[in-house]
Every structure is written in C-alpha cells, then in structure tokens.
Amino acid sequence: MKKHLTPLARKFGLKGFDIRTKEQKAEDERRDAEYRRWTIRQLASRYDREKIYEEIGSEPIQRVAKRYEISDVGLAKVCRKLNIPRPGRGDWAMKAAGKAIPKRPPLPELFT
C-alpha cells in the first residue's frame, strides 16, 4: 500500500497526513540533529563565544556586528545558535538615561 502512496506523499503531506514509517521518522530526526550539531560546530569555529559575550555586554550589538562585518540581525542569530545571552530591549537606552541595567546572566554551556 505504501508503495502505491509514495508518489502522492507530497499531496498527503500538504493535507496534514504523514505516511512515513516510524523508522523513516527516526532517521529524519537523527539527520536533523546531526545537521544542527554540524551547524553549531561550524559557527563555533568562526566565532569566539566568550569574546562575543563580553563585547555585546559592553556595547550595543549594532556596533559589535559592524566589527564582524555582518548585520545586527545576523549577529543575533549567531548568538541564538551559540547560546549567547543578549542584553534585553531597551537596556542601552536605560543606561544612557542613567538608570541601572539588569545584571547579565552568565554565559551558559554550549548545547550540542
């Protein structure tokens, strides 16, 4: 039966049906996890987590991103993928206004 449904798998998928077997689903999940680990290793080889953590804690992310020659959104994505906590929205405005900014969380371990 599955052999006959394979050509229609995409149409069934669009309607919310998944015709993959448990083994196929497990293999797809394993491949996705391996790809995530590979991506994190590639990013970690290009960027120093501790250095970025210290830099974005001492000045706005836009300035740090210019040094790395990427956009601030790109640097935010790198931070998210490498598990680097960023300052909250408005922290630099609060600092400019002379108010105390919240304490920075410590740099967590890199999840793999």
Mean pLDDT along residues 9-25: 83
From the centroid of its chain, how far is CA 33? Answer: 13
99 assigned to some structural domain: no
Percent of the chain with pLDDT over 90: 49
Residue 50: inside a domain:
yes
The pTM score is: 0.70
Percent of the chain, pLDDT > 70? Answer: 95
Domain extent, residue 26, equals 21-90
Report yes or no on 95 lying in a domain: no
The per-residue pLDDT for range 37-64, each reduced to its tens digit, is: 999 999 989 999 999 999 998 888 999 9
Is the distance from CB of 88 to CB of 105 less than 8 angstroms?
no
45 is a domain residue: yes
**112: pLDDT strictly greater than 70:** no
> Does the residue 8 lie in any domain?
no
